[in-house]
Amino acid sequence: MFRNMRKTSVLLFAVFTLASIAAAQEQRASHLPGSNPVSGAQLFKQYCAVCHGIDLKGHGSLATELKTPPADLTTLAQRHNGKFPEAYVEDVLRNGAKTPAHGDSEMPVWGPLFASIRGTDSQLVNLRIMNLVNYIKSMQGK
């Protein structure tokens, strides 16, 4: 039990630290000419790759610390009869994964975290989430 609490604490600390660093980087990047602080690839790298890996296959640097391994996001369309489940991915990003049969989800809920970044309005939160959805969709295996 202590090991699970420690893993959860490490994960939460890492996620909030990464979110804080990413928010600071995003604020700086938003002032650079030609930068796009809300691109799906950039958001994935800043927020998701630590668990899902840069290649989206679930082998990020924190993946081994989780009770449930992160999903291989390149196979979402394959696992949904060849159609990418946009609404499902958007819902998971906004509200978290709902997996009661497997215990609580360790995945952060990005909707509220994106909304907490200073200077963010609901349109920017929506844009971030849709850009992440579209990036994940673009990375589906053939």
CB-count burial class (<10 Å; 0-12, 13-18, 19+) for 109: middle
Give the C-alpha separation, 113 to 100, whole Å: 22
Phi first, then psi, for residue 76 (nearest 5°) are: -60, -45
Please, are residues 73 and 113 in contact by the beta-carbon 8 Å criterion? no
Q: Residue 86 CA to chain centroid, in angstroms?
A: 14
Distances (CA, A) of 108 to 31, 77, 94, 95, 125: 27, 22, 9, 9, 15
For residue 34, what pLDDT band results from cuts at 50, 70 and 90? very low
pLDDT per position as a tens digit, 55-90: 999 999 999 988 888 999 999 999 999 999 999 999
Whole-number mean pLDDT of the chain? 76
Helices vs. strands in the chain: H and E counts, helices first: 7, 0
pTM of the model: 0.69
* All structural domains of the chain with their residue ranges: 2-138
Please, are residues 118 and 27 in contact by the beta-carbon 8 Å criterion? yes
pLDDT per position as a tens digit, 119-130: 667 888 888 899
Give the C-alpha separation, 50 to 44, whole Å: 9
**Average of per-residue pLDDT across 4-31:** 50
